[in-house]
Amino acid sequence: MAVTTWNRQGTGRSASRILLERIGGRWLSPLLLLLLWELGSRTGLIPERTLAAPSAVIGTLAQMLLSGELPSNLLVSFARVAVGLLIGVALGLALGLIAGLSRSGELVVDPLMQIKRTIPALALTPLFIVWFGIGETPKVALIAFATIFPVYLNLYSGIRSVDLRLMDAAKSFGLSRWEQVWHVVLPSALPSLLVGLRYALSVSILVLVVAEQINASAGLGYLINNARDFMRTDIIVVCLMVYAILGLGADWLVRTIEARALIWRPSIVEQ
């Protein structure tokens, strides 16, 4: 199916390009890279202590899955992200609503948020360790702290960029202030809020990676640290893959929410 569409569009395409697309399209170069990597490992060009072979990585992955080592540690990491995000997104929502919907709220909240923005969340790691020790709390707190801002900023600006002509229309039909917020302001801020949520999810995984380096006794970071000590590059690569899958999963989650919540947008309607 894909091939025929390409051919129809591609009157000016060179024969080699059509051939490439026929063989595997966009999958070709990554597969080739994997093949070269495997070859390099087999021939001893890439030592195992530098980078394990793809086949070894897959073997390790299967082994870690079967032994339950990977699922149990993944669950720990996932719980950290989930709790951190829950707190961070909830705070971001609350602060964004306060600053977006009231002038005095904006005066109180926004300067603090702008100050907070200038401090990179990860730079607070030492302080959080001093405050919260080296247990779960500093990890969750770091994720929560880092995810407040993208949610806050996008919700706040989404609320403030509401179409005033729509507000006039709502007013002219006698909607109360609360009804205006509910029917006009919040729905119009939703696309912007979802962008913020997407940022928050990717930030949360980034912070998770660093936070888990803090003396963890479980979780993906713990697995990586252990593997580093034993120079098990195969385990490190498996964990990197899992981080990537977490990121993809987060993106998928927001896109699913968007497709349902923003069904009125023409780009989605026309599909």
Contact footprint for another protein (CB under 8 A): 165-166, 168-175, 179, 183-184, 187-188, 190, 262-266, 269
Question: Whose Cβ is closer to another protein: residue 169's or residue 244's?
Answer: 169
Closest CB to another protein among 14 and 172? Answer: 172
Judged by phi (left if over 0) then psi (alpha if -120 to 50, else beta), residue 218 lies in beta
- Shortest spacing between CB 254 and another protein, in angstroms: 18
Q: Token pair for residue 247? A: 């990121």
Give the nearer residue to another protein in terms of CB position, either 229 or 270.
270
Least Cβ distance, residue 173 to another protein (angstroms):
5
Please answer whether residues 143 and 211 qualify as being in contact, where contact means their C-beta atoms are separated by less than 8 angstroms.
yes
| Shortest Å, Cβ 261 to another protein | 9
Question: What's the gap between Cα 184 and its chain centre?
Answer: 29
Q: Which lies closer to another protein via its Cβ, residue 1 or residue 164?
A: 164
CB atoms within 10 A of CB 111: 11
Q: Considering the complex, state which of residue 2 and residue 164 has its C-beta at the smaller distance from another protein.
A: 164
Q: How many CA atoms lie within 13 A of 139 on its CB side?
A: 28
Q: Which is nearer to another protein, 168 or 251 (CB)?
A: 168
Cβ 197 to another protein shortest distance, Å:
17
- CB of 211 within 8 A of CB of 200? no
Using the structure block, give the residue that is written with the tokens 């998928």. 252
| Residue 144: partners with Cβ closer than 8 Å, 6 or more residues away | 83, 84, 85, 87, 88, 91
Q: How far is the CB of 175 from another protein (least distance, A)?
A: 5
Q: Nearest distance from residue 14's CB to another protein, in Å?
A: 41
Cα(142)–Cα(88) distance, integer angstroms:
9
Token pair, residue 153, equals 């900023």
Look up residue 137 and give its two tokens: 């709390």
